[in-house]
């Protein structure tokens, strides 16, 4: 499931990049309990839309999943191409999503330690494609990137 | 400024309640630097829209403020009728908003300690009107409230 989840998240990041946006993608998956191992339900998918929607707070994968019951979040896994910022990490904690699979944390290290300290399983894949996408974007649009992470320059 | 900020946040909570929503309101204010003490600019205001927009992640006050520069967030104060959940607290940390004024934290205690540990000034007004609004809502709609805070029941 993890390899497939990351492929879906990367597709979202690439879609965001094609739209002129910040190329961070994410999906929320629910592992199927009764079916064959490794199958899942796609609950939601999305990419950063700061530029496309002038949105400073949209957490698209979770927003696009709509209103889910607390039970469902607690069985799901979230995949994200980049280490989650404090806002996205806070959403993971709010909904008690138990597992986060991260493409890479070299171009940006989010709140992985906070998540672990609260009992969330955090897996970092160190995926080269995820790093390439971010490196290129940060070179192309350093200001949009700094805005996205609240940095002054 | 704090009394006025909280009045605006309570107005937003009441607006949310009238719409059949979860009555939590918030505003983002920028203190004016050169003008008379206590004057401010309203950057954004909003209320919880989980029910109105089927939104699990909208942080309306910040979203309605639009894309602000990192410099502006760092000079602003956020007012919220209720202690901020982990997602909203994460947004405050992401954008390095230095000051949070909270109406009450009796019906729900959010991530105040995390905010303080990261250097955010946290002021709790212990406002009775904020408590009344939430108490009534939780009695009327316990399930929507549990969904909002990711609790099972
Ligand atoms: Ca490496
Ligand atoms: Ca009291
Ligand atoms: Zn984020
Ligand atoms: Zn919140």
Average pLDDT, integer, range A98-125: 98
Whether B133 shows a pLDDT value over 70: the answer reads yes
Residues of B in contact with A57 (CB under 8 A): 57-59, 62-63, 91
Res A35 pLDDT > 80: no
ipTM greater than 0.90: yes
Mean pLDDT over each residue of chain B, to the nearest integer: 96
- The encoded tokens of residue B149 equal 């805070």
SS3 of B118, please? coil
Number of Cβ within a 10 Å radius of residue B117: 9
Phi/psi-derived region of residue B32, left when phi > 0, alpha when psi is between -120 and 50, beta in every other case? beta
Contact B100, B74 (CB under 8 A): no
Segment among A33-37, A123-127, A132-136, B135-139 with least mean pLDDT: A33-37
The CA distances from residue A150 to A113, B16, B94, in Å, are 19, 29, 6
The residue to which tokens 């404090």 are assigned:
A86
Domain extent for A75: 1-149
CA distance A56 to A49: 8
The domain total for chain A is 1
Q: What is the pLDDT of residue B37?
A: 75
Q: How does residue A3 score in pLDDT terms, banded at 50, 70 and 90?
A: very high
Measured between CB atoms, which of B56, B66, B70 is closest to A152? Answer: B70
Sort A138 into a burial class: Cβ within 10 Å, 0-12 / 13-18 / 19+.
middle
Above 90 in pLDDT, residue B38? no
How far is residue A93 from each of residues A115, B86, B108, measured CA to CA in Å?
7, 6, 15
Strand order from edge to edge, sheet including A40-47: A40-47, A25-31, A77-82, A99-104, A121-124
The yes-or-no verdict on residue A120 having pLDDT over 70 is yes
Which of B59, B71, B93 lies at the smallest CB-CB distance from A152?
Answer: B71
> pLDDT per residue over B83-106, tens digit each?
999 999 999 999 999 999 999 999
> Among A5, A2, A1, A21, which Cα is nearest to A13's?
A21
Which residues of chain A lie closer than 8 angstroms to B89, CB-CB? Answer: 90
| B150-to-A26, A127, B56, B58, B105 alpha-carbon distances in Å | 20, 31, 10, 15, 17
The structure tokens 């600019």 sit at: B41
* Averaged pLDDT, A117-141: 97
- Which pLDDT band holds residue A34 (cuts at 50, 70, 90)? confident
Distance between CA A125 and CA A103 in Å, rounded? 5
Taking the centre of ligand 2 as the mean of its atom positions, its distance from the CA of residue B122, in whole angstroms, is 17
Instruction: State the distance from the centre of ligand 1 to the C-alpha of A15, rounded, in angstroms.
Output: 24
Question: Residue A50's domain is classified under what CATH number?
Answer: 3.40.140.10
All residues of chain A having their beta carbon less than 8 Å from the beta carbon of residue B147 are 67, 69-70
| CA–CA distance, B101 with B112 (Å, rounded to integer) | 11
Which residues are CB-contacts of A36 (< 8 A; sequence separation ≥ 6)?
A: none
Question: What does pTM read for this prediction?
Answer: 0.95
Confidence of residue A145 (pLDDT cuts 50, 70, 90): very high
């Amino acid at each position: 499931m993890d390899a497939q989840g990351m492929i879906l998240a990367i597709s979202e990041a690439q879609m965001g990049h094609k739209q002129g946006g910040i190329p961070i993608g994410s999906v929320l998956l629910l592992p199927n309990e009764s079916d064959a191992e490794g199958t899942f339900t796609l609950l939601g998918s999305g990419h950063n839309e700061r530029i496309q929607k002038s949105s400073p707070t949209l957490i698209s994968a979770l927003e696009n999943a709509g209103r889910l019951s607390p039970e469902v979040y607690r069985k799901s896994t979230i995949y994200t191409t980049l280490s989650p910022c404090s806002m996205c990490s806070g959403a993971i904690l709010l909904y008690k999503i138990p597992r986060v699979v991260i493409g890479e944390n070299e171009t940006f290290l989010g709140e992985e330690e906070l998540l672990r300290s609260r009992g969330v399983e955090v897996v970092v894949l160190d995926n080269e494609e995820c790093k390439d996408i971010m490196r290129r974007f940060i070179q192309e649009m350093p200001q949009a990137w700094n805005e996205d992470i609240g940095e002054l320059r």
